[in-house]
Structure 1
Amino acid sequence: MGTAQLPSVREMWELSVPEMAFEYQPLLSTLLAVAAAHHARLVPHEAEELRRVQGGFIAQAIGGHRAETAKLALSSPGAGVTETLCMNAILISLYTLACRVDGGAGGGGEYEPPNLWLNMARGVRTVVSMVYYRLVEERARIAPLLVARPVVHRGDVEVQDGGPKGSSGELRFLVYMLPGSEEKEEEEVMGVYVQCVGYLEGLLMAVRMGESGYDIRKRFSSFPSMVPGGFLGLVSELRPRALVILAYLFALAKGADGVWWLRGIPEMEVRGIESILPEVWRGVMRWPMGVVKGEVNVNDEVVL
């Protein structure tokens, strides 16, 4: 999957994941759905037929995955969580994002935020953090992915403010601009925004430091699981500030979209978000729009 720079991670995707798929039916179904989606990108004239194929496989995968995760609530924390279940959660999350290009992110109508991806991606850490240390200690087949930097799935990993110590942070204006607009932001909600922007500042710093595409994609994909869960609700409510933060997230992933499952996603999401924002918020979208269009360099200072 993608261009993992670590031989151990690449070997996991090429050898271990297919092996696990034949041990766990939901994972096999997910892998077949992902393969069909990938092939559809490579051979566009077969996309319509493949879309029906992958739809059947992903339905089987999600059905089986839900049945297995439902059992976890009845047991002690971590009991029943296997490496195959964790890998299936990771792949389903990836699939839900990749297929937004095929669905137009709005079914041909008004843009809709990636709520399914946000929730599926958040579920990955919920599951993996239960057994992170066990899987690493046992040298499970997915351990190379878990320990590869940046580490994001440990239960004790918290959101860190990426801005320079003692500084307000280059993106902190996203939290405080347009006070008293149509949003009535309680103190708790503002705290959610602060943590989300802190994560973005860390991602911006990683991009500017030249971290590999693999590292940037891992940081990007982990955003839903690393920020407060309340943020997902704010996005589903179409809160403008939450949507703008999401647009900046996708813009920061633009330079790492050299893999099939992310290609075209940053542009689509940023443009879609701008299309549904109230006019008063359009000005703050100049930076992410410029980035996805190739008109703005992320190394330059973020200015409105």
Structure 2
Amino acid sequence: MPPRRSHKKSRAGCRRCKSRKIKCDEVHPRCGNCVKHGVPCDFERPEVLAELQAAAAAAESPATPASFDFGSPITPAAGPASVVPSVSALATPLCRAPQTPAVSQTTPPGHRLLELRLMHQYTAMTCKTFTFTAPVTEDIWKITVPNLAFSGSQHLADAILAVAALHLRSMVPNDKELVRASHAYMAASLAEYSAALTKGIDHTNAESLFLTSALIAFQSTATRVFMKDEVMVGAGNDVDADANRRRNQPSGCYAIPFSWFHSFQGVKAITAASWQYLRASPVVTQVINSQAVLQLDFTTGPETFFGHLLEGLDEELAAMGGGGSDTSSATNATGAPSPAAPSTSPGHPPPNKPAAATAELLSSTRQAYQHAVAVLNWAHKIPHKGAPLAFPATVSRRFIELLEERRPRALAILACFFALLKSMDSVWWLQGMARREVLGVVSLFNSDFFGADAYRTWWPHLEWAMRIALYEHPSGGGGGNSNGGGGEEPIPPDVWGADWYAEERALAEGQAHHGGYVRHIELLSQMGSAMQSIPSVPEFVPVMGDQR
């Protein structure tokens, strides 16, 4: 008989696992069992230890009768660990004093109060900041979405609390409890969301997965507001340096918020993968139809507002496709740095790449640029309707690759997108975003990364974005939308380059003719473009230096 394998005992588990007499995996800052059951862990919150010890002592000691007081509310027993009253207790006359109510062993009182605070914040204020158009959509986010979460969707419930915590943080930035809550609830939501996607999408979970993906996108966007300037443009740490090397970016440069694109693209992927179920959902269809339908004009000439962003595209593509081993000339032609050796990044095919593959790459690059500029032209006309937020959701995967390669044209397009967000500067999760991000993108052109000529070459294409990002309204009202606080006063047409409300009337007529956004998705689904693929879960990384 072979000898038994040795078993190393440990006393370093968390207190909650010890009290339940189960093995703790000792993962910090929150053990796996506590994450699974959605309860606080004393690894993460040392103050929980005292509460657990007090609860254990109360459970071991017999309950003592209390004087009956009509003015004192009786706390109902809650949770699976609540003590079940005995038969004799049930037979006690109503005039007798009740026993001391059992306290939940899984949810400390302080934690319950926090969740009540967050849910109140969500229903009273946060839900109003998700819509820019139809009032009926506000009722959906306020009433229908919480009810759907209460029906058993844990990932949706955690996403609601995470976004509410982040909204409260915007008002009380130094509240450490809210900092921890915003990170912890979003991490828990992503874990449950990922598990649900792994099991598969069907008619029972399609609605909740779509709504959770939308809240994840809001959270990813809003988290950027809390980034410190030195984190964004200062020297990065080792983790940042590794990510920068993978994305061809030197440490210490402005970091493009790729989480924006990944999370909004996740909403698009969820919609595509579950459209056969979502199309029958009155909740989701109302949310989708509240968005302004995309009416894209692929005219590439200078007559469109952002048509100048496509100037020189033919020469750039010719340099990319015909450089052979002379890849340095291709990069110099667009203002990018000249590598010492031929690049094998997606934007620069290696010398031996087949001609057909090169042609396909160049075609997808052209289409990516043209589509991105078309979205900008459309959003520029009705920015107050939330139209700019369609950009990170609708651009192609190839355009995101071009951003990862730090292609100057892609970055100039990105700067113009961020400038469009100035129209929603008073919304809490977009406040200051235009100024911060446009200045960050432009700083790349004025750095050693692109060389001395890049800033001068690309400044004509960046000038409008800079002017809008730095714009201050004379009355102090800003150029924002009234949702989420602040006055609604549009940026003057001579500064912005278009009259929002005149353009809105014209686009509304087109939308009535072509149908709503649901009709737009129906047409896309009929084209059979990757509609059944399961979306990947966006990576959640707490903002560095943000654990105040």
Please give the TM-score of this superposition, normalised by the length of structure 1. Answer: 0.82
Structure 2 residues not aligned, in runs of 5+: 1-126, 235-252, 317-332, 337-346, 349-361, 474-490, 498-548
**For residue 404 of structure 2, what is the aligned residue in structure 1?**
236
Residue correspondence of structure 1 range 176-191 to structure 2 within 5 A: 176-177=311-312, 179=316, 180-182=333-335, 186-191=362-367
1:125 partnered with 2:268: yes
CA distance in 2, matches of 1:247, 1:221: 14
Q: For residues 162 and 206 of structure 1, what CA distance do their matches in structure 2 show?
A: 18
Query: 8 Å contact 1:27–1:84 — kept in the other structure?
Result: yes
Match of 1:222 in 2: 390
Contact 1:24 1:84 in 2 (8 A): yes
Residue 107 to residue 70, structure 1, CA distance change in 2 (3 Å): farther
Partner of 2:436: 268
Q: CA offset at residue 44 of structure 1?
A: 2.6
Equivalent position of 2:461 in the other structure? 284
Residue 245 (structure 1) shift: 0.7
How far apart, CA to CA, are the structure 2 residues paired with 1:104 and 1:80?
41
The AA in structure 2 aligned to 1:182 is G
Deviation by residue 1:243-276 (Cα, 9 ceiling, x = unmatched): 1111111111211232111111111111111112
C-alpha distance in structure 1 between counterparts of 2:185 and 2:292, whole Å: 31
Name the aligned partner's letter for residue 284 of structure 2: I
On the 8 A contact 2:203/2:277 being kept in 1, the answer is no
* TM-score, L = length of structure 2: 0.47
Quote the residue 1:137 is aligned against: 280
Matching residue's letter, 1:107 = V
Higher relative contact order (CA 8 A, sep 6+): 1
Deviation track 1:52-91 (CA, whole Å, cap 9, x = no partner) reads: 221111111111112222333xx7xx66651111000000
Residue of structure 2 in register with 1:9 after alignment = 137
- Out of 161, 168, 190, the position equivalent to 2:297 is 161
Q: Runs of 4 or more off by more than 6 Å in structure 1? A: none
**Over alpha carbons, which structure has the higher Rg?**
2
101-110 or 121-130: which moved more? 101-110
- Give the counterpart of 1:37 among 140, 162, 166: 166
Deviations 1:139-188 (A, max 9, x none): 2x333212224146xxxxxx722769x87522111122485223578343
Is 1:61 the counterpart of 2:238? The answer is no
User: Which range moved further: 286-295 or 192-201?
Assistant: 286-295
2:254 counterpart (111, 118, 121): 111
Q: Deviations over 1:189-217 (max 9, x none)?
A: 1221011001111111224xxxxx3x2x2
Give the partner amino acid of 1:264.
G
1:42-121 maps to which residues of 2 (within 5 A)?
A: 42-46=171-175, 48-72=176-200, 82-104=206-228, 107-108=231-232, 109=234, 110-121=253-264
Question: Are the structure 2 counterparts of residues 147 and 5 from structure 1 closer, same or farther at C-alpha, using a change threshold of 3 Å?
Answer: closer
Matched residue type, 2:255: E
Q: Distance in 2 between matches of 1:288 and 1:248?
A: 5
Q: Secondary structure at the match of 1:112?
A: coil
Matches of 2:203 and 2:404, distance apart in 1? 32
User: For the structure 1 residues 83 and 106, does the alpha-carbon distance in structure 2 shift closer, same or farther, using more than 3 Å as the test?
Assistant: farther
2:377 counterpart of 1:201: yes
Quick check: 1:293 aligned with 2:436? no
